[in-house]
A and B are shown apart, each in its own frame.
Chain A
């Protein structure tokens, strides 16, 4: 899992509640990514950030929000607008420039109560 940590490992959300998933990296990577993985499915991109204080929507950004105030941190908030939040959430990071490999954290499993 490299130098990327995600917390918590499991997270429970009540109806109408916003929850925030943490992602921290000590790899000095500029780019960070959030993916959602549903059972038996591939990864779908939620948001990504190439530099501090800047981020772009991915393919399924609705119901999610992010911030990138520090290079090493890229928290993801699952808002109450996300009606089907139960999934496995993966954070990844990548060096800037021509290095294409992404390094993944261990993931957070979000369940709805």
Chain B
């Protein structure tokens, strides 16, 4: 099955710096989502970008999508220690929908923001 692959696997920055994570996928999609997971917890939805969108903002988050390169990036600006978490991209297959709707998750980027 198709899978998003995040890059880098781990990222360590200082508070106040920007963090950029990338996601690549293999086949056509309807949308791409980014989720966050604090250690030992469930995932929390951050932002969704549709295949016909190129950029989307939500607070300190900026997501871009390049369907020609099958890639997306998540930018967190002015990072805080509380942003420390794993970040996952998730894609739905372009031919899924209705009763067959499901997401495929990447392996994630572990972001550490040092105070």
Q: Which residues of A contact B (CB under 8 A)?
A: 1, 4, 31, 33, 35, 40-45, 48, 50-51, 56, 58-59, 88, 90, 92, 94, 100-107, 109
> Interface residue count for B (Cβ, 8 Å)?
27
Interface of A is mostly: strand
Q: Which residues of A contact B98 (CB under 8 A)?
A: 50
Q: Which residues of A contact B40 (CB under 8 A)?
A: 88, 107, 109
Q: How far is the CA of A44 from the CA of B105 in the complex (A)?
A: 7
Residue B78 is within 8 A (CB to CB) of chain A in the complex: no
B1-A104 in contact (CB<8A) = no
Q: Assuming the A-B contacts A40-B107, A50-B101, are A104 and B44 also in contact, with contact meaning beta carbons closer than 8 angstroms in the complex?
A: yes
Instruction: Identify the closest chain A residue to B6 (Cβ).
Output: A42
Instruction: Identify the closest chain B residue to A48 (Cβ).
Output: B102
B101-A31 in contact (CB<8A) = yes
Residue B31 is within 8 A (CB to CB) of chain A in the complex: yes
Q: Which of B31-83 contact A (CB under 8 A)?
A: 31, 33, 35, 40-45, 48
B92-A43 in contact (CB<8A) = no
Q: Which residues of B contact A33 (CB under 8 A)?
A: 102
A42-B42 in contact (CB<8A) = no
Instruction: Identify the closest chain A residue to B92 (Cβ).
Output: A100
Q: Which residues of B contact A (CB under 8 A)?
A: 1, 3, 30-31, 33, 35, 40-45, 48, 88, 90, 92, 98-108
Q: How far is the CA of A90 from the CA of B42 in the complex (A)?
A: 7
- Say how far A77's CB is from chain B's closest CB, in angstroms: 20
- Say how far B98's CB is from chain A's closest CB, in angstroms: 8
Q: Which residues of A contact B31 (CB under 8 A)?
A: 100
Q: Which residues of B contact A51 (CB under 8 A)?
A: 99
B43-A104 in contact (CB<8A) = yes
Q: How far is the CA of A4 from the CA of B18 in the complex (A)?
A: 32
B101-A90 in contact (CB<8A) = no
B102-A42 in contact (CB<8A) = no
B108-A105 in contact (CB<8A) = no
- Say how far B40's CB is from chain A's closest CB, in angstroms: 7
- Say how far A33's CB is from chain B's closest CB, in angstroms: 7
